[in-house]
Amino acid sequence: MRLWRRCLEVGLGAAVLGKEAAEELLRGPESHGPERSAELQRRLTTLLTDSRHLGADLLQATRGELERLLRRNGWVRREELESLAARVAELERQAAAADPGCVAAADL
């Protein structure tokens, strides 16, 4: 819930800052003093920084939720399945080399 609140805050901040900043920036730097330019730059920098952090947090939360969903349903990611299949094939090769009478599961 905290993450969604942060998303909302950044979104609202972007909407408010976006309109004000766009109007100021469209007028050009000569239309406002250096203090106002510095303030706009600080606000834009803060918004961009917050947005980047929020994006990373959302990505991490989404990945975590996806992992929980996969585990809860007994599913695995393709990479995990491929890794396991490669390991089984390697063990079968080792077993066949050690005991020529050993039959691979794939050959059953």
Confidence of residue 4 (pLDDT cuts 50, 70, 90): low
Q: Which residues contact 97 (CB under 8 A, 6 or more apart)?
A: none
Question: pLDDT tens for residues 7-26?
Answer: 656 565 555 555 566 565 55
Read off the pTM. Answer: 0.44
Round to whole Å and give the CA distance between 1 and 40. Answer: 30
77 phi/psi in degrees, rounded to 5: -75, 155
Structure tokens at 97: 């080399």
What is the spatial distance between Cα 86 and Cα 5, in angstroms, rounded to a whole number? 44
The answer to whether 13 and 47 have CB atoms below 8 angstroms apart is yes
For 66-85, the pLDDT digits (tens) are 999 999 999 999 999 999 99
Phi and psi for 87 in degrees, rounded to 5? Answer: -65, -40
